[in-house]
Structure 1
Amino acid sequence: MTDRVFHADSYARQCDTVVTRSEPGIVELERTVFYPTGGGQPGDRGVLILEDGSRLTVIDTIKGEDEAIVHRIADDAPVPAPGTRLQAEIDWERRHTLMRYHTCLHLLCAVVDAPVTGGRMAEDKAHLDFDIDMEKLVAADIEAALNALIARDQPVETGAISDAELDANPGLVKTMSVQPPRGQGSVRTIRVGDIDYQPCGGTHLRRTGEIGTASVVRIRSEGKRNKRVTIVLGD
């Protein structure tokens, strides 16, 4: 299992580590700051810096087998052997943007009182799908409520809940399409002040005020049970 530095500190930009497995196009590390694709959040990009100063570009990060994290490099790039020491460094500007969007989507969960049927974020926008009647989604009202919550500058805290506690409180799981991983004894949680509390494995800001301004740019139907609200954040 890869040690997930980003779970303890979403603001960690780099770490010293060791290669545990490698093959053309793939590098696995003992510990990493790279978040793997999951929960609607894209995997991190960045570089692996070897002791001789050479750099390998990480083009994507995904989940592997047995809780490993796979750093994808070009298929024709030189592959560092297991045991190689190096420094893993993420593209921080991109990651921070994704953290802003991910934290804002938690606020959107609180603003729209309906089950979440899906969601995704990118570097320029993000969306959630809700099982709700279309007429109940008013862009101006959602936008005003979002920005009011952002302005409250509430703390965002990481915690954990036991599998048994989660099973006893199924309402904490707000995303119908994705269930939190069980079997490890506990599940990671994110609490946004008194606004939102739910299981989540993603990376987040320390406070909501860091999100900036949010705009609702589109609301449209994606099917009978999927009404999509798309947001864009200011620079």
Structure 2
Amino acid sequence: MTTSAPRRRLPIGNFYNLRDIGDYQTADGTRTGWGRLFRSDATRFTDSADLAALGLRTVIDLRDDAEVTVLPTGLDALVPAVLRRPLDPRSLLSGVRDDAPDPLGDLYVALIRERGAELAAIVADLARPGALPALVHCAAGKDRTGVVIALVLSAIGVADDLVATDYALTADYLTADFFAAIPAESGAADPTDEVLRGARPESMTAMLRVLAAEYGGARTYLTGHGVPGEAIDRLRTALTH
């Protein structure tokens, strides 16, 4: 990766869904910078030189211990800080109706309603001085990672339509080959379930709508769960130019 030719999706390692969260405009006209925050699925880095190109200082792994055991990434030996921040959605899936019009949207709403403390702690991790460049990942880089990245982008002033568009890019990259290549126990969605492995922008928009209606937006949601406003400001400064 070079600063002269930034790209959204990064062909590094064995990742299918490794993306740079750069060049999104915020409400005041600044833009997120390239090479500061990345999102991805979980797979193994095979070349430390590829990783060095990202300059990662922090990795936030949203998977539980069992998922990590099934699919280790090797990042612990290559990045100064690899933080385990389990954000297990499985128990919440039981409350999502099988016949719901948008089960993923319902799941994301349940995550923000039921996992506020965990989500706030993750954003606070990213806001630490010197935490960036950082990578946030789960198994597929879609649901748990999608909610975390959406909270970050929304809290620093990126418009809802851009947040939902970034989320929906996942649908282009999590192909049948992805689901065939990873262990069934990895924590990614069941490859036979077309609904749960999808990434429709409407699902993320549903979550953002609830954030606005019930919490006053992402920033207020995060401060209400213990993230200091100055930490969010620091993260915004570190992510934008």
Which structure is higher in RCO with an 8 Å CA cutoff and minimum separation 6? 2
Scaled by the length of structure 1, the TM-score of the pair is 0.24
- Larger helix proportion, structure 1 or 2? 2
Scaled by the length of structure 2, the TM-score of the pair is 0.24
Bigger Rg, structure 1 or 2: 1
